[in-house]
């Protein structure tokens, strides 16, 4: 398997200018965050009974298999960011995701926001999840998405850990303003995100720019709340107006499960969590009819040599820069920064 874009560093501007232009990929990434419903951030304060946990494990299995069937009917491959403990409780499901040709990537070990970790405990979390998923699928795990998009400026150190643990791309930075997540000044399309020591390819969720405002429109509650045409509008705008022209959509199995027993949430959390769930299956089918989708890892490999903006997560935005060539046989995560003061 060829090495895909990973941790690396800035290159000199004159070298960037001499690099031949790469073909512009036009890609829409379809992704699913696979965790049991009780793990959602809105329920983090709840004491969940064992019977409800078992219910959620059964529902995530059934609905994810429904998703696999729908994707197969449409000839579509996707990336599944899977919580590591799902591989422990239901290895057959994770194995079937991989056998169906989809990418299995990491969504952490037990769906904890990065804010709850130290760098050391986060490293343990990433390592456990990656190992569990690889043991089940027999395939390398190269992608990561933090629960609740919790890689933000305060947790910029997490990017260094991802690189050092062999992850090659991340999808945890949402370029929006939100009360739980977001880096609003981050680029809308793929960019290089630098922590304290290392740099990794970032694939952010899609946004929609309207009247000078950058609105989240990559999936989740936005897909359930707003009319379907707005998701399509965001995808078309991303492909037309961003470089490289890539749009990332994300969903959760529980969002396609009207039979899921509901959690005892507060009024606002309940609205955010359950609005539109009854219509999501039809919407997903319509979306699959409208666009051609692919896996995150494949898009990452398409754009690995293109100049991309560099976001120093603890500081600011620079660009464009590009991933430097690596020596034969040297993984990208072994490349160290150059030209850094």
**How many CB atoms within 10 Å of residue 316?**
9
User: What pLDDT, on the 0 to 100 scale, is given for residue 331?
Assistant: 38
Segment 274-302 mean pLDDT: 95
What is the chain's mean pLDDT, rounded? 86
Segment 309-330 mean pLDDT: 59
Q: Which element (helix H / strand E) includes 310?
A: strand 308-312
Separation between Cα atoms, residue 295 and residue 30, nearest integer Å: 6
pLDDT-based confidence at 325, cuts 50/70/90? very low
Do residues 44 and 35 make contact, with C-beta atoms less than 8 angstroms apart? no
User: What pLDDT, on the 0 to 100 scale, is given for residue 18?
Assistant: 31
Segment 84-93 mean pLDDT: 97
pLDDT per position as a tens digit, 143-176: 999 999 999 999 999 999 999 999 999 999 999 8
- Whether 40 has a pLDDT exceeding 50, the answer reads yes
- Whether 23 has a pLDDT exceeding 80, the answer reads no
Segment 92-116 mean pLDDT: 97
- Whether 15 has a pLDDT exceeding 80, the answer reads no
Separation between Cα atoms, residue 125 and residue 104, nearest integer Å: 17
pLDDT per position as a tens digit, 117-140: 999 999 999 999 999 999 999 999
User: What pLDDT, on the 0 to 100 scale, is given for residue 177?
Assistant: 84
- Whether 191 has a pLDDT exceeding 90, the answer reads yes
**How many CB atoms within 10 Å of residue 107?**
28
- Whether 6 has a pLDDT exceeding 60, the answer reads no
- Whether 335 has a pLDDT exceeding 90, the answer reads no
Separation between Cα atoms, residue 200 and residue 310, nearest integer Å: 10
pLDDT-based confidence at 63, cuts 50/70/90? very high
pLDDT-based confidence at 247, cuts 50/70/90? very high
DSSP string, 187-237: -SS-EEEE-SS-EEEE-PPPEEEETTEEEE-SBHHHHHHS-HHHHHHHHHH
Q: What angle do CA 202, 220, 252 make, to 5 degrees?
A: 90
pLDDT per position as a tens digit, 221-242: 899 999 999 999 999 999 999 9
Which ranges constitute the DSSP H helices of 112-155?
119-137
Segment 22-35 mean pLDDT: 78
CATH topology of domain 13-205+290-334: TIM Barrel (3.20.20)
For the chain, the structural domain boundaries read 13-205+290-334
Q: Which element (helix H / strand E) includes 250?
A: strand 246-251
User: What pLDDT, on the 0 to 100 scale, is given for residue 213?
Assistant: 87
User: What pLDDT, on the 0 to 100 scale, is given for residue 42?
Assistant: 87
């Amino acid at each position: 398997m060829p090495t895909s874009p990973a941790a690396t560093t800035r290159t000199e501007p004159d070298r960037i200018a001499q690099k031949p232009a790469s073909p512009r990929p036009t890609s829409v990434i379809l992704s699913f965050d696979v965790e049991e419903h009780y793990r959602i951030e809105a329920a983090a304060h709840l004491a969940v009974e064992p019977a409800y946990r078992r219910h959620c494990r059964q529902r995530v299995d059934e609905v994810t298999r429904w998703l696999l069937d729908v994707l197969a009917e449409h000839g579509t491959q996707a990336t599944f960011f899977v919580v590591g403990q799902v591989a422990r409780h239901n290895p057959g499901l994770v194995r079937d995701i991989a056998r169906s040709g989809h990418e299995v990537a990491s969504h952490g070990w037990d769906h904890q926001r990065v804010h709850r970790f130290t760098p050391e405990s986060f490293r343990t979390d990433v390592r456990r999840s990656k190992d569990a998923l690889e043991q089940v699928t027999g395939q390398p795990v190269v992608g990561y998405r933090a629960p609740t998009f919790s890689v933000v400026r305060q947790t910029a150190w997490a990017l260094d850990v991802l690189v050092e643990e062999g992850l090659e791309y991340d999808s945890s930075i949402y370029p929006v303003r939100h009360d739980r997540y977001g880096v609003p000044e981050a680029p809308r399309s793929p960019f290089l995100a630098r922590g304290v020591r290392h740099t990794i390819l970032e694939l952010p969720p899609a946004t929609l720019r309207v009247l000078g405002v950058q609105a989240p429109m990559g999936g989740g509650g936005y897909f359930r709340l707003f009319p379907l045409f707005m998701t399509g509008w965001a995808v078309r705008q991303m492909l037309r107006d961003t470089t490289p022209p890539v749009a990332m959509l994300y969903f959760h199995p529980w969002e396609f499960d009207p039979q899921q027993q509901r959690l005892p949430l507060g009024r606002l959390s309940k609205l955010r969590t359950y609005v539109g769930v009854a219509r999501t299956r039809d919407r997903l089918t319509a979306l699959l009819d409208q666009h051609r989708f692919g896996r995150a890892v494949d898009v990452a490999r398409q754009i690995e040599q293109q100049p991309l903006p560099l976001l120093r997560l603890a500081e600011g935005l620079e660009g464009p820069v590009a991933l430097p060539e690596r020596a034969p046989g040297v993984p990208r995560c072994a490349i160290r920064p150059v030209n850094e003061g």
